[in-house]
Amino acid sequence: MKKIDKKPIIILIILILFQTLLYLLSKTLQTNPHLLGNVIDEKIPFINIFIIPYASWYILLFLIPYLFYKTDKNVFTKYILCFLLTIIICNIIFIIYPTIVVRPIIQNTNIINVFVNIAYKIDTPALNCFPSIHCAVCMMWLLYSLENKNLNKKYKISIVIISILIMLSTLFIKQHVFIDLISGDILVLLIYLFLKNKVKTVNKFKKMLSI
């Protein structure tokens, strides 16, 4: 059995704790939230089974970046940088333009619905939705897995598929509206392109992380 490297795990834990602190801070500073949604959202059905890919996001927050670390430390470094920039920008937007999602009332008629209501309860009220960090991180996984030349093709395909499923899950379990998904993806794409040729910056950050 291969030894688990603790360094990337520690970096990821610190990163997620930082995001959590920013998120809590943005909630205390925001004013009246705006309700987003349009005709597209009204036509998207509620599909409870999508709680499974949605919930898997929390585990994959560690597994996919760890895979980047083990296969290409430059990709891992860029991912960490992209994550940092994304959550900082997202939380600034949350403060300036807070939003809220009105979710359906789901009866606990089966175990899947129970899990959906647990997710709702954890994230109540459903504030800070635009852009979707859930979708933004999935876009990072997708882009950096495709960029990673050392990553096995099977892993790349798997990461792309699960990333897309998680993005869709935010809509199908009514945690986000369509504009949340699109804005999160566009934001990450812009940051990804910005960092793509920032070799010196990436190398300095990599040295700072001692990886």
pLDDT for 45-99, tens place per residue? 999 999 999 999 999 999 999 999 999 999 999 999 999 999 999 999 999 999 9
The answer to the question of residue 121 being in a domain is yes
Q: What is the predicted pLDDT for the residue at 192?
A: 98
The answer to the question of residue 194 being in a domain is yes
The answer to the question of residue 40 being in a domain is no
The answer to the question of residue 170 being in a domain is yes
The answer to the question of residue 44 being in a domain is no
- Average pLDDT for the chain: 94
Q: What is the predicted pLDDT for the residue at 28?
A: 84
Query: What is the rounded end-to-end Cα distance, in angstroms, of the chain?
Result: 22
The answer to the question of residue 98 being in a domain is yes
Q: Give the 3-state secondary structure of residue 11.
A: helix
The answer to the question of residue 195 being in a domain is yes
163's tokens: 């990333």
118 lies in which domain range?
Answer: 49-203
- d(C-alpha 182, C-alpha 42), whole Å: 16
pLDDT band at residue 2 under the 50/70/90 scheme: low
Q: Is the pLDDT of residue 122 over 90?
A: no
Phi and psi angles of residue 95, each rounded to the nearest 5 degrees, phi first: -75, -45
The answer to the question of residue 23 being in a domain is no
Give all strands (DSSP E) within 60-204, no chain letters. Answer: 99-100
Q: Number of structural domains, the chain?
A: 1
Q: What is the predicted pLDDT for the residue at 31?
A: 78
